Structure 1
């Protein structure tokens, strides 16, 4: 597979870009545990709203450990997919939306106030990190999808 050149640097896929960024290690680990690494390393284009490590640290105590348990893989997969939109979208694109249709299925509200883009209540703090197969926008909060009634 041919790699795109960008200013002499080889652009990595989404997961590789997350890992090399040192701000998104927890989210990269969650993607691995959810079994989504292969699909996010493929050729399909995605926009990833990636919670920073600080965002995961702000979750209630024990939440992350519980999500990472193998018995909670479905819930973790839903959470990761709630941060994912198909297609390659910059903040300029996303800022025109009222809601983002997530891979998980639920819409996440999009707002722009005082030049600050937010999705699902999380502020975009690291916009437009380009990867070979998409764009990453670092966000300051982990968005939790509504749990569906059984």
Structure 2
């Protein structure tokens, strides 16, 4: 099986903000500003990943996502978590369920930076950070385990985020 990914957990979209011109050369600083924010900072800046960030914190993974990498993260939105059965998120956030929460979050993360263009026309299986398999299909857009990537290639200093609209469950 072809393996191009495999590693840790969580988070999200480009930070909001307009591009600013450098007065000493007219260069656009927005790209360098984005690249300075790690995965956690990038996710926090959007306001769309509060549940994911709370889960990463509860699972003890936030620090790894902020300082480790590079990672490719398939990041579910707050709406994706809200679509889970009632009480699921609250139960997972309990300290006694930390191992289960870690496993679910790590299923959303693989090692390295993989851009959507790298997946174009491919169907492959990759290993997530929790050891589980992810089925990636790049033949018509990009899906992971049948879930659509709704926004791809969000840059962070320590990886790339692909936003998904469902939570991947084992």
Q: What is the TM-score with the length of structure 2 in the denominator?
A: 0.77
Q: How far is 1:56 from its partner? A: 0.5
Superposed counterparts of 1:1-150, under 5 Å: 6-7=30-31, 9=33, 11-95=36-120, 96-113=122-139, 115-145=140-170
Kept after mapping to 1: 8 A contact 2:123/2:138: no
Q: Which runs of 5+ in 2 are unaligned?
A: 1-28
* Relative contact order, higher structure (CA 8 A, sep 6+): 2
Q: Higher mean Cα deviation, 102-111 or 35-44?
A: 35-44
Residues 66 and 89 of structure 1: CA distance in aligned 2, closer, same or farther (over 3 Å): same
Unaligned runs of 5+ in 1: 146-150
RMSD of aligned residue pairs (Cα, Å): 1.6
Greater share of residues in strand? 1
Gap change, CA 1:107 and 1:18, over 3 Å in 2: same
Aligned equivalents of 1:43 and 1:55: distance in 2?
Answer: 25
| CA deviation profile, 1:106-147 (whole Å, cap 9, x unmatched) | 11111235x3211012110011110000001100100011xx
Question: Larger C-alpha radius of gyration, 1 or 2?
Answer: 2
| TM-score of the aligned structures, taking structure 1 as reference length | 0.86
